[in-house]
Amino acid sequence: MTNPAAAMKMLITYAICIPLAIFVGYLLTNPLDYGTLGFLTFVLAALISPIFIKWHYPILIFGLGCPISLFFLPTRPPLWQAVVVLSLSIAIVERTLSSSRRFISVPTMTVPLMFLLGTILLTMELTGGIGFHQLGSAGGGGKKYVYCFTGIAMFFALVSRGIPKNKRNLYIFLYFFSATLNIFGDIGPMLPQPFNYIGLLIPPSSAAFQSDADIRIIRFGLISSGCSAVLFWMLARHGIRGIFFGGNIWRFPAFCFLVMASQLGGFRSVLINFLLIFIILFFLERLHRTKLLFVFLLAGTMACALVVPFAGHLPKVMQRSLAVLPFVNINSEVRMDTEGSTEWRLKIWRALLPQIPQYLLLGKGYSFSEADWEYMGGGAFGGGQANAAAQLDSSQQALALSSDFHSGPLSTLIGFGIWGAIGMIWLVSATLWLLYRNYRYGDPELHTINAFLLANCITAVIIFLFIFGAFQNDIGTFAKLAGLSVALNWGVCRPQAKPATMQRIKPLPQPRAA
């Protein structure tokens, strides 16, 4: 006999699935239409929603460093922004439904982040609002605001729960492994069809091929990023002591290979970033108090002695990375190229410094007009306007108009005035304090990763202040480091109270017998 309840469920399932399948088949006749892509995305999200509800936090950790771009959505947002919004939304719903799902409370970080959020919203409201040219707005600049908002939301998504002790290594691996997918951004265009369509998910590097009148350098920026991710995973997982003296024969050769491969992008900042993290981590692991200090000084001296005479024979892309070292003898064309890049950056900074006073109380924000958008997209660096653009003040160049100053302090002061500077100093100080506490008083099993996070944060501060920084990106950088440390350590660690000891009381002498 047929079960009436089961038959009814089957009829309802067919009544929903068959019309939906017919409608999806009709939409696929025009698969590249935004309406079709949006509806198919909604259907796919509904089908896999149970997976996201259960595993949204591991997906968040994986997505933070993942280079995948959601090409089927307007403005092509990166995957990490989508997973941050998704994970935080699910965490809020879980907290609403269950009192046991509590966020880890960290007022030290919450207050400066809320101060920055208020500053950004007020500046945005007073300087023209948020605009997305890709969505039909006359102006633009909204993409940078989204980076600010999702960077702040990243911290709260990370502290929505703690990472279980037995899954720490897995989550650390997911955090760094996702960034290795950057490699496909450089090798994807070289793959045969249909594999080369991976370029839709992982966009090729904008600096993959650069040419000048006198110099021709092929730069693999995304391969460099992928190798750097593995390099940093080794430092976070094993530390300097574990890599060089851990007893595994493969770690040291792999480490040296990754250091060289990370220079294939030709970016001097990559070499500076690695050297700073390595040196700071060396002191945080207290290796300077051992005989290893002399060993590393001798090894560094020998490496410099080999690099100085033979640097000119290396590939030009590696020579460009080594150009940050003034004593290295490299190709004169490569040296001129790097000096020209530095001079261009200094010109923008010198041109923008006099503008700081006028933006101290109310920052410029990120909104720009339709005229500025047409100027930036109409060939400010090419075509008939190239010569005219070259005669303009550096502060009127396209990158400066779009608030890409390549300087952390300038992007903060001009973008959001003195209030943004106060908020950024507050955020950086709170992050350093939190990471130091977890490094000093955290679980001994987490000492290596806590030391790496602190070294990474100190390096990020130095680069933000003096080398290359952007307000909208570095908010997320510091929020991510702090949030990951809080999740691993389940909060901010404090010194353990010493057990109270009672003073031993001597027994009274016995009275003598009469």
The domain locations on the chain are 103-379+390-489
| φ and ψ at residue 511, rounded to 5 degrees | -65, 140
Say what the pLDDT of residue 56 is.
Answer: 92
Specify whether the CB–CB gap between 120 and 148 falls below 8 A: yes
Say what the pLDDT of residue 380 is.
Answer: 43
Say what the pLDDT of residue 109 is.
Answer: 97
- Predicted structure pTM score: 0.86
CA 107 to chain centre: 23
Specify the pairing of strand 216-218 against strand 209-211: antiparallel
Say what the pLDDT of residue 212 is.
Answer: 44
Specify whether the CB–CB gap between 482 and 109 falls below 8 A: yes
Say what the pLDDT of residue 359 is.
Answer: 92
Q: For the chain, 514 residues long, give each residue's pLDDT as a single digit of tens.
A: 456 667 766 777 767 777 777 777 766 666 656 666 666 777 777 777 788 888 999 999 999 999 999 887 778 899 999 999 999 999 999 999 888 888 999 999 999 999 999 999 999 999 888 876 565 565 667 889 999 999 999 999 999 999 999 999 999 999 999 999 999 988 888 888 877 788 888 888 755 444 444 456 778 888 999 999 999 999 999 999 999 887 788 999 999 999 999 998 888 889 999 999 999 999 999 998 888 888 888 988 888 887 777 787 888 888 888 888 777 788 888 888 888 888 888 888 888 899 899 999 999 888 775 555 555 554 444 433 433 344 445 555 555 555 678 889 999 999 999 999 999 999 999 999 999 999 999 999 999 999 999 999 999 999 999 988 899 999 999 999 999 999 999 999 998 776 656 556 666 566 665 5
